[in-house]
Copies of this chain bind each other. A is one copy, B any other.
Amino acid sequence: MMKTSNPTSRDIADIAGVSQATVSRALRNSPLVREETRHRIQAIARELNYYVNRNAAGLRTHHSNTLALLMFDDSEGADRQMNLFLLSMLDNITRAAARFGYDVLVSLQQLHDDWHIEYQASHRADGLILLGYGDYVEYREKLAALADAHTRFMIWGPIVKDQPGHSFGCDNENGGYQATRHLTDLGRKRIAFIGSTSRRCPELAARHAGYLRALADAGLAANEKIRVPANNSESLGYRAAQQLMESGEAFDAIFAVTDLVAIGAMRALQEAGRKIPDDVSVVGFDDMPLAAYVSPALTTVQQDAEIGAEGLVRGIVGLIEGEPVESGLMAPKLIVRNSTA
């Protein structure tokens, strides 16, 4: 007489000749249960391929041991490449969460969407991680609503004054500084900046701020004529570099706000016969896989996704477990390659 449905703790109790409560304790390794009993129960559970019903356990304990990862991605088409870093974050977040004993539920959304933030309210997750590039300032209300609902969440991004919740991110200002400082150390004097500096993209604006600080440190004046805005795409980088050349303004280096922009700019420079790095040194930002393979290989600023993921997961687990949590930043790292050699 075989049971076809999954075994329950009661089935195990019957076989072991103990109460269901004792089975529950034994499976959770409670020291209250005599060691021999515990081992016997665990052996039976293994043999029956028993696994605790997470719905039942979660209903009792109000814990799901699950994190919800909300990925915001507003990019489209060719710009989809930008996802690479975020996808690498996902990978590392999942691994870090596993170390802390949490599963990860993934949800892809757009910032202007409704956000599906009921994960915690519906007890599907114990906390949220918000991952994406973009301007949370515009979405402060939504963050505030999250906080009002006592939702635990960590935001990937900069530390923004008065922003509800906790965050962990990359020190983009420092990264912009390192990139530009590398160029001034090489003796470059006319360093162009290609990229958006809008406050809608706080990450990118911070990179520009670092650029300005490095120029100042080197005693160089920022020249607005060699700053060209560009959003994160290869084609916009290409166009921006063309504009730069057409302007007639001299420049001997470019700091591009992302690798994609840098790669587009390099293509324009090479088509125009400018030698990289001899005539123009180029630095990007991101260290996407592509960066090492373009020719010349691109010097860039790397954000370590493993450290970023660890920071976010440690933060949200701390919030869940009621420990004090501080927002944090990690330092990015300059990777020197041939585009500035």
Contact = CB atoms under 8 A, between A and B. Distances in A.
A76 to B, nearest CB: 13
Interface stretch (A87-95, A173-181, A201-209): A87-95
A43 interface: no
Contact of A54 (B56, B83, B95, B123): B123
A49 B118 CA distance: 9
Nearest to A53: B123
Contact of A122 (B53, B81, B105, B106): B53
A294 interface: yes
Contacts of A118: 51
A104 interface: yes
Interface stretch (A58-66, A132-140, A245-253, A278-286): A58-66
Interface in A121-170: 121-124, 149
Work out how many copies of this chain go into the complex: 2
B81 A289 contact: yes
A200 B107 CA distance: 34
Nearest to A60: B55
B52 A55 contact: no
A22 to B, nearest CB: 20
A108 interface: yes
Interface string A70-92: 00000000001101100100110
Nearest to A116: B98
Nearest to A264: B293
Contacts of A54: 55, 122-124
Nearest to A122: B51
Interface in A1-57: 6, 49-56
A290 interface: yes
B94 A106 contact: yes
Given A51-B121, A51-B122, A80-B289, 11 more contacts: A53-B122, A90-B90, A90-B106, A94-B107, A103-B105, A103-B107, A105-B105, A105-B106, A289-B290, A290-B290, A293-B294
26 contacts: A50-B121, A51-B118, A51-B122, A53-B59, A53-B123, A54-B122, A54-B123, A54-B124, A55-B55, A55-B123, A56-B123, A59-B59, A81-B289, A83-B87, A84-B87, A87-B87, A87-B90, A87-B91, A91-B108, A94-B108, A103-B107, A104-B107, A105-B106, A106-B106, A290-B290, A290-B293
